[in-house]
Amino acid sequence: MGDDNQDEIKRITDSIIRVCENAFAEGREYVLLSRLGVELGQEVKKIKYMTGRGLAEFIRTSPKLNAYSIVTVAGTKNIFALVRTSNMQEAGVLPATVLAAQPSETRFHYRFWAAFSVPSTVGKRRFIDPESFVFKDTSEGEEAPTGWLPVEEEFIAAEKLDRRDQTIKDNIEKWLEKHGLDRSRFLQNVKPSEAPQRNLLFAIIEALDRRQLQATNLSLDVIATLAAKKI
């Protein structure tokens, strides 16, 4: 394996350690493997590409990660989590022993969460549909879709932060309070309304500014054709 790959693997390994240690510092007893995968994002694919191993196998076989053991969560067959190996040894149990479930925590719908976790685009404003949880970044002067709410820049988490998940949660709570919204509307078990299917006509209207729209004339047959083209 080349030096570049070795450096990349070391960087990803350090990221895994950072995520785990931040979680433990917050008082958590374990880190769900699925949650770790979300935190790592594209790094999981890089691990697979460079080592031929999935995330769990990479952790199990990496000498630098032997401080952590992978266990199953009590009452489940295929939900896995990371714990400190030293904690398992002190308790006198094998690493495969299941864990008692941790106290439940508030989890927001992934689509809603993304509006506060996806880095913002420079020079654009972000809006979210409170019904479908779809969000979009708009250019300066561009009007937001009717009924959509602004996700102010101050509530969008920077890309590289320690304890980023906690920052996102805090930002969401502040945003909900600012806009007077009930958090229960945005939790993971809520089924949001379906976003309207986009068509070519809508995309063109969305892409043009007010001046361009005023200067554009389309015949009814052209409008009908564009509206029929789904995208």
Q: What is the pLDDT of residues 47-104, one digit of tens each?
A: 888 888 899 899 999 988 988 888 887 666 677 888 887 765 554 444 444 455 454 5
User: What pLDDT, on the 0 to 100 scale, is given for residue 99?
Assistant: 52
Coil, strand or helix at 197: coil
Cα distance between residue 162 and residue 93, in whole Å: 31
Reply yes or no on whether the pLDDT at 214 is more than 70.
Answer: no
User: What pLDDT, on the 0 to 100 scale, is given for residue 226?
Assistant: 62
Residue with tokens 């729209």: 213
Selection from 145, 142, 191, 187 nearest residue 169 by Cα: 187
Give the CATH class of 3-90. Answer: mainly alpha
pTM summary value = 0.46
User: What pLDDT, on the 0 to 100 scale, is given for residue 151?
Assistant: 94
Buried b (16+ CB within 10 A) or exposed e, 206-220: eeeeeeeeeeeeeee
Give Cα separations from 17 to 5, 25, 164, 216, 220 (angstroms): 18, 12, 14, 56, 60
**Structure token pair of residue 61:** 């076989």
- DSSP-assigned letters across all residues of 58-76: HHHH-GGGTTEEEEEBTT-
User: What pLDDT, on the 0 to 100 scale, is given for residue 58?
Assistant: 92
Averaged pLDDT score across all residues of the chain:
78
**Structure token pair of residue 98:** 């299941």
Domain ranges of the chain: 3-90, 110-189, 197-231
DSSP 186: G
